Amino acid sequence: VIQTLKHVARLYTCTGSDPDDAGLIADAAIAWEGERICWVGPTAALPVEFDHAATDLSGKVCFLAPGLVDCHTHLAFGGWRADEFALRCRGATYQEIAAAGGGIASTVRKTRAAAEEELYAVARRRLRQMAALGVGTVECKSGYGLTVADELKLLRVYRRLGASTPMRIVSTVLGAHVVPPEYTQHRGDYVSLLTEELLPRVAAEGLAEFCDVFVEDGAFTSAEGRTILEAGKRLGLRPKLHVDQLHDGGGAVLAAEVGAISADHLEYTGPTGIAALARAGVVAVTLPLASLYLRQPPLDARPYQAAGVPVAVATDFNPGTAPCHSLPTALALACIMNRMTPAAALRGATQVAARALALHDVGTLAPRQRMNALLVEAPDVEHWLYRLADPPPARVWLGGRELAEAFPEDRGDAQTRTAF
């Protein structure tokens, strides 16, 4: 069955390569059959075979955009860290909280204690909330287990979510998030556990496409990061990196040298790092919610764009430094904090974000692409992001079907309903 929308006031294809051009078509039409788009263009050029039974949106103030791609999340974890938020509000730093046994280590304790079923139920609810905001594709990292069994537990949650929902889930193994407390006196053994046990298991079971390392003081050194990522590459896991979040540790240069598909955070990356990313074709991922929560100087997207580095925008959704799963909010912040235009922000969470995940059939509205889309009742993306992404999308399509049909809200049992 072919479905068509016509006289859509504005449609952003997000094709092309100019960061500030979101591919606007005024008075647009789009047709799709099953999961795939078959035609996009001005309504005046809509072929007659797609026109019968078209939904006519004449006179409606709205725009249509590709389904959003959140290319950096830590979706599944045990518990929250609102207590630490209150401490940070009183002036404690991220490093001070981590040194006192809080931070990532506290989430690791709660994640290890949580059953796979519980992690699945909570993550599934979160995913449904993200879908309602127009997100159709989510990258999900492990990294709160930090044992072979607990990392595999998180990655199995992601595999189940991908199989049981219409969301496209892309999994990343982040066993190298921090050195777990039991290994702080012999960290080399933890690196060996990753390279000799965890990564081979993940690759053998097909549980992830990417391997990520947090290179930072208090996490992993550049040399350790290189060892882990090279081991992952030999197993077919493509590198990603969390780098230069708290200081310029040469992480962007490392990302270029190991051939990472993306380098994420980059709050403190300097001109040498930007030039290295440009030469190696690495996508820069900005995470403005994390910069905001940590009161960090945010990445300035303009030197990246000037150097030809594509800039993606993601939430970094996690219980510590970015406990907000709203990608539209991150887009508004990217405009305010990262100095991206609304068009560049939208491209950063569609076409560029898909590139950061090596996906070719999402992130644009074009023939043969998956019909993931959102319809927002605002005049254009400028009005929408200027208003901090208000209102939420009025309609969302996932694989050609509307949200309520494609991904019904979970009624679940009482425990699921009360999980926060």
Chain contacts with Zn ion (rule: CB under 5 A): 316
- Kindly state the smallest distance separating residue 49's Cβ from Zn ion, in Å: 46
Q: Whose CB is nearest to Zn ion?
A: 316
Residue with tokens 């208003």: 387
- Kindly state the smallest distance separating residue 74's Cβ from Zn ion, in Å: 6
Q: Which is nearer to Zn ion, 208 or 373 (CB)?
A: 208
Q: Which is nearer to Zn ion, 68 or 374 (CB)?
A: 68
Within 8 A by CB and 6+ apart from 185, the residues are: none
- Kindly state the smallest distance separating residue 381's Cβ from Zn ion, in Å: 26
Q: Which is nearer to Zn ion, 88 or 240 (CB)?
A: 240
- Kindly state the smallest distance separating residue 371's Cβ from Zn ion, in Å: 29
Q: Closest Cα partner for 378 from 48, 60, 14? A: 60
Reported in sequence order, the residue ranges of 78-151 that DSSP labels E, i.e. its strands, are: 135-141
Q: Which is nearer to Zn ion, 5 or 241 (CB)?
A: 241
- Cα separation, 172 vs 221, whole angstroms: 20
- Kindly state the smallest distance separating residue 82's Cβ from Zn ion, in Å: 19
Q: What are the CA-CA distances from residue 386 to residues 317, 328, 380 (Å)?
A: 22, 11, 10
Q: Which is nearer to Zn ion, 266 or 378 (CB)?
A: 266
Reported in sequence order, the residue ranges of 34-115 that DSSP labels E, i.e. its strands, are: 36-42, 55-56, 63-66, 68-70
- Kindly state the smallest distance separating residue 314's Cβ from Zn ion, in Å: 8
Residue burial 233-244, b: 16+ Cβ < 10 Å; e: rest: bebebbbbbbbb
Q: Which is nearer to Zn ion, 227 or 318 (CB)?
A: 318
Residue burial 251-278, b: 16+ Cβ < 10 Å; e: rest: bbbbbbebebbbbbbbbbbeeebbbbbb
